[in-house]
Chain A
């Protein structure tokens, strides 16, 4: 079953007076439970693709089905719910809220999902324990190492049990040791049945995935299941 299915996705940006085509007809299928790496040089459009797959941005043209729901034509207000329920983001620079302790950081998606305070605290604790940070709940992100911070970010991404996990260069800001640990977690999450998509330009990381999709100049050049 395709968890992600796009047809002819086009994305144009207006830079001053020039129209820049970032994505030029992306046809992509990713199956439920797959571990996929999206690779490409900078400027290839892989970040744009990730934003569209993550419903942070809408395509200029084309269709995008996430979990059999046509999200490319959805109003922005509904996209917020899609991001909340179906997508977990992991960023290169962690993007934790510095003034909240890590428990509150992980609770954030649950709060916007409307879960009660008691339930979400219990749930967030559980997930943080699973990533090995059960003893740091009251710490602020600034008091943790990079690897620990990224584990908090992963906990936040999976706390809502999303359909897909989107990671953008998740090891880019980490040393090789903690980077390896993080990749271990992704592999583990994949083996538990999660759909994991990692965007990277690092061949070594991409090789951990089951499939590598290569993008260049806004087009898929290799790795799509149909091609």
Chain B
């Protein structure tokens, strides 16, 4: 003869409506706590998404980079560069790599066509560059193996460079000069774009605009003709998967170390491991904010518990009457537990709504991407119900344990 949950819900709802102001005051802590959780989760979620898309734009999680070690103590001797021969040797040792591309860069190369002069970052690369960077060609072709072998004077230009030099005209087949060398334009890179956020906004809307200003020539041409004496000091490698990237990174590190007689002239990093580090750092941030939210929920829960205890004291006689007409202890327990959970759940829903309402404002104020998800709504709702259960049990047990004889005597 248990009274059904639906009946308890109705009873609880009627109680809440009867004491509207008290109910609202009771759940303010929960509302704020849930709101806080919503906002924090949305910020963290947004940050993760930004980090991921940043990583994707930079060539994804399969990417491994070999770069000069800036912390190396050169008093120990050593040359932080690779010869083309060493590069070929290294490449032959890692057949499992999906793509392999060494780069020689000249940060401030001046290219010109007639009167138009343009300062660009010029890169000597190999054909795998497009695979490593996962960067498509918009027009024409990229550098080929034949170009490397023949030290061809071909150039592939960034989309911004193409606009500056040729406007709406077709750049393919046109000649531009780099120093005293003439190059024929064989391709235009696809435009890269990523919405800038926060501090990046100072550099313009497109966080990747610097990439659109680059130009690419065969690495052999770079070393032999454009900038003789320049050295290969950076290699990008692409593994088949992020997990393999971790393995491959260690392998490459060992090979490079052996190649350079055990001197730590280079550092080898994998995007996956960088991301892991970044996410580990984000976790700390996340943990601190979740902790704050949890504390405010606990405080909210304690407030609710106290108010429920007071309410039960006030309703002692009512409980006595209910017991006298046949309510079991379980009925009383459920009545008060359901009421507490109902209050916190309603508080949770209000918190979720308020959280959504301020989400955009928080995002635009901090100039970061905030991203709500359905999962967050469940988390917030479950947490608020959990708080209700946790802090409702005590008062409900106390109500259920009342001695009817004493309860009925209460004034």
Contacts and interface: CB of A to CB of B under 8 A. Distances in A.
Interface stretch (A79-87, A142-150, A183-191, A195-203): A79-87
A205 interface: no
A85 B326 contact: yes
A95 B1 contact: no
B324 A81 contact: no
Contact of A112 (B320, B322, B405): B322
Given A89-B324, A97-B321, A113 B1 contact: yes
Interface in B299-345: 317-318, 320-331
B386 interface: no
Interface string A150-190: 00000010001000000000000000000000000000000
A147 B326 CA distance: 24
Interface string B170-213: 00000000000000000000000000000000000000000000
B405 A109 contact: no
B324 A97 contact: no
Interface in A17-65: 51, 54, 56-57
A108 B405 contact: no
Contacts of B3: 111-112, 114
A112 B329 CA distance: 11
Measured as residues with beta carbon below 8 angstroms from the partner, the interface class of chain A is: 20 to 34
B18 interface: yes
A97 B329 contact: no
A142 to B, nearest CB: 13
Most chain B beta-carbon contacts within 10 A, residue among A85, A89, A112: A112
A109 B324 CA distance: 9
Contacts of B322: 108, 112
Nearest to B326: A84
A97 B318 contact: yes
A10 to B, nearest CB: 16
Contacts of B1: 81, 84, 112-114
A67 to B, nearest CB: 15
B325 A91 contact: no
Contacts, number: 65
B115 interface: no
A112 B325 contact: yes
A80 B408 contact: no
Nearest to B330: A77
A169 to B, nearest CB: 13
Given A51-B405, A97-B318, A112-B1, A77 B329 contact: yes
A99 interface: yes
A112 B404 contact: no
A95 B324 contact: yes
Given A56-B323, A81-B1, A83-B324, A112 B317 contact: no
B329 A109 contact: no
A97 B326 CA distance: 15
B328 A80 contact: yes
Nearest to B6: A117
A114 B329 CA distance: 15
Interface of B: 1-3, 7, 14, 18, 317-318, 320-331, 404-405, 408
11 contacts: A56-B324, A77-B329, A81-B1, A84-B1, A84-B325, A84-B326, A95-B320, A109-B325, A111-B7, A112-B3, A160-B326
Given A85-B326, A112-B325, 12 more contacts: A56-B408, A57-B404, A57-B405, A80-B331, A81-B1, A81-B328, A84-B1, A84-B326, A99-B14, A111-B3, A113-B1, A114-B1
